[in-house]
Structure 1
Amino acid sequence: MFLRTVTTAATLLAMGVTASLAQDPIEERQQIMKDNGQAMRVLVPMARGQADYDAEAALAAFVSIRDDAARFGELFPEGTETGGDTRAKPEIWTDREGFDAAVAAFVEDAEAAVAAAPADLDAFRPVFGAMAENCGDCHEVYQVPEN
């Protein structure tokens, strides 16, 4: 019950933060990436066996990522290539077709993870792995690494 309350509160907070940033696509996509990072901090330790598998927490993290991923592609309009401390690479705009395909693959994997609603670690690892691989591939091609 406590975990469900915390998850609900975090989701509502993230929705409120994201809604307030809707006027600035750079800030909004940065917030989404932070939200996804928080979700991955729940999922990665389970995948690595560093935390007990919690089906409810995993599903909540997958839902959060899926909901954010569905909007992600629209947050890179022309004119947002620079500014706002963006780490977006120019390839997003010079290879828009490739970027859109990468986002679509990530959305598809996130949706598959939610639909799978893995009940145990053996069911979790493959859907998490596919989603995480797409996440990493996109970062490698379309995001400037942190210093």
Structure 2
Amino acid sequence: MKTTAMCQRTAAMAAGLLVGLGGAAYSVAADAPSIGDLQVKYRQAMYTVMAGNFAPLGAMAAGKAPFDAKEAQKRADRVAFVSNMLNEGFPPGSDKGKGTRAKPEIWTNRAEFDRLMQDLQKQTAALAAAAKTGDEAKFKPAAAAAGKACKTCHDKFKTED
């Protein structure tokens, strides 16, 4: 008899523990960001890195900052590298994430978006190659072309800030 009562008490405690853990897991899951929210954060982080590195390049190309070949190469390499990661931030379902400024056309006109993304990657690779030469005359038009690739995509697929 004692064994049966002890087993019943142990089973009741285990069941209570499982119910409690299940409720805690549900609460954590309910508060967790959605996949769309995480993708928005990912792509916004990538674009922050792009902007932080492209701004000095643009200033050098526009003559607002002196051309520094070493700095240009470092930043152009970063921009080229990150541009190859951007497309990962736009999977299906990430159009509904909190804080997104991506237009729905990214997902309804994916072929055009992908084409513009490939052009950006091509132009940023060319910018990195031009910066590597250390020749300001080669750097400036490459920076302008990369900037134009950014703007073309933003104009078509990003809402106003």
The CA distance in 2 between the partners of 1:93 and 1:130, in whole Å, is 25
Check conservation: 1:88, 1:144, Cα contact below 8 A: yes
Check conservation: 1:43, 1:61, Cα contact below 8 A: yes
Deviation of the 1:74 alpha carbon: 1.8
What is the number of residues matched between the two proteins? 124
Match in the other structure for 1:50: 64
Deviation of the 1:28 alpha carbon: 0.9
CA root-mean-square deviation: 1.3
Q: Does 1:143 align with 2:158?
A: yes
Deviation of the 1:118 alpha carbon: 3.8
Structure 1 runs of 4+ off > 3 angstroms?
none
The CA distance in 1 between the partners of 2:154 and 2:94, in whole Å, is 17
The CA distance in 1 between the partners of 2:52 and 2:65, in whole Å, is 15
Q: Does 1:115 align with 2:129?
A: yes
1:72-92 Cα shifts (integer Å, max 9, x gaps) = 112101101022200000110
Match in the other structure for 1:125: 140
The CA distance in 2 between the partners of 1:130 and 1:61, in whole Å, is 16
* Identical counterparts, % of pairs: 30
Deviation of the 1:96 alpha carbon: 0.1
Structure 2 portions without partners, runs of 5+: 1-36
The CA distance in 2 between the partners of 1:115 and 1:125, in whole Å, is 12
More helix by share: 2
Q: Which of these residues, 47, 64, 75, is aligned with residue 78 of structure 2? A: 64
The normalised TM-score by structure 2 is 0.73
